[in-house]
Amino acid sequence: MENLLNCAMDIGEQMLLSGAEVHRVEESIKRICRSFGAKRTDVFIITSSMVVSVFGSDDKTYTQTRRILNSSTDYEKLHKLNELSRKICSEHLCDPKIIKDELDKAISCKTYPFWLECVCYSVIAGAFTVFFGGGVSEMLVSLVIGAIVRFGIALCETTITNKIFSKFFSSVIATAFAFLAVKSGLIPNADNVIIGNIMTLIPGIGLTNALRDLFTGDSIAGLLRSIEAILIALAIAAGYFLVVVLGGLIL
């Protein structure tokens, strides 16, 4: 049972790291442990910690704790992990080696190349710039700045793995390059360009998951995710403030 609990914890940990809401992870771990023959499973999960106690059929209690760091959003991996948890429950798969192999396959699923992420950031930034009233020149500048912002996020991921600092740094980059474009005469106004690029940084998924956790009764996890989303929004505003005020650029 201890090895099987370890497998269930591995799956739950990867689900949290992929951006799953707490209720989904708790239910998955409970169902998996039940399929392993556990009499009772007590699960307590927040965004940064997992504690699971299992009462096995041998009348012994097994408990494991995991610390969760640096979660992101990867719905392709999350989809694979959901499929694996359903497979374990439907087929009563109880071989730890097979589960580990299936988990490794789910974790190592194909990810999008970096150049495609840069293209997506550029397109989204350009589209939002037009949406908020920008012209062709502003859209073209936004396309370039969007790719630069993605490079800035990648730089933060390799140096300081902190979401809040990453959003702050990205906001500084977007605002600074937008004003440089104005100073160079490429665009008449920086507002729409800044707004278009900031929209790629807004923590919409994090706030949505926070509301889902609150609605399903996971108050602590929901509040923690809500606070994180608010801090990220403040970091984005602080990045803009740094360039505009401390940089001496007055709108």
User: At which of 59, 90, 107 does a domain end?
Assistant: 107
Same domain, 139 and 216: yes
Same domain, 187 and 238: yes
User: At which of 91, 107, 123 does a domain end?
Assistant: 107
Q: Read off the pLDDT of residues 190-235 as tens digits, 9 standing for 90 and up.
A: 888 999 999 988 888 878 888 888 887 778 888 888 888 889 989 9
Same domain, 160 and 235: yes
Structural domain including 91 reads: 2-107
Task: Say if 251 falls within a structural domain.
Answer: no
User: At which of 58, 80, 107 does a domain end?
Assistant: 107
Same domain, 13 and 69: yes
Is the pLDDT reported for residue 173 higher than 80?
yes
Q: What is the pLDDT of residue 248?
A: 58
Same domain, 133 and 46: no
Q: What is the pLDDT of residue 247?
A: 66
Same domain, 47 and 155: no
The residue behind tokens 């360039």 is 243
pLDDT > 90 in the chain, percent:
13
Q: Check if the beta carbon of residue 54 is closer than 8 Å to that of residue 1.
A: yes
Same domain, 17 and 97: yes
pLDDT > 70 in the chain, percent:
97
Is the pLDDT reported for residue 12 higher than 60?
yes
Q: What is the pLDDT of residue 214?
A: 83
* Residue type (1 letter), 206: G
Spell out the long-range contacts of 116-125 with Cβ–Cβ below 8 A and sequence spacing 24 or more.
117/150, 118/146, 118/147, 118/150, 118/151, 119/147, 121/146, 121/147, 121/149, 121/150, 121/200, 122/146, 122/147, 122/150, 124/199, 124/200, 125/149, 125/196, 125/197, 125/199, 125/200
Tell me how many domains the chain contains.
2
- pTM for the whole thing? 0.78
Q: Read off the pLDDT of residues 17-74 as tens digits, 9 standing for 90 and up.
A: 888 888 888 888 888 888 888 888 888 888 888 898 888 777 788 888 888 877 777 8
Same domain, 158 and 235: yes
Is the pLDDT reported for residue 251 higher than 50?
no
Q: From CA 15, how far away is CA 9, in angstroms rounded?
A: 10
Q: What is the mean pLDDT of the chain?
A: 85
- pLDDT range class, residue 142, cuts 50, 70, 90: very high
Q: Read off the pLDDT of residues 208-220 as tens digits, 9 standing for 90 and up.
A: 888 888 887 778 8
Same domain, 81 and 146: no
Same domain, 52 and 100: yes
Q: Read off the pLDDT of residues 85-141 as tens digits, 9 standing for 90 and up.
A: 888 888 777 777 888 888 888 888 777 788 888 898 999 999 999 998 888 889 999
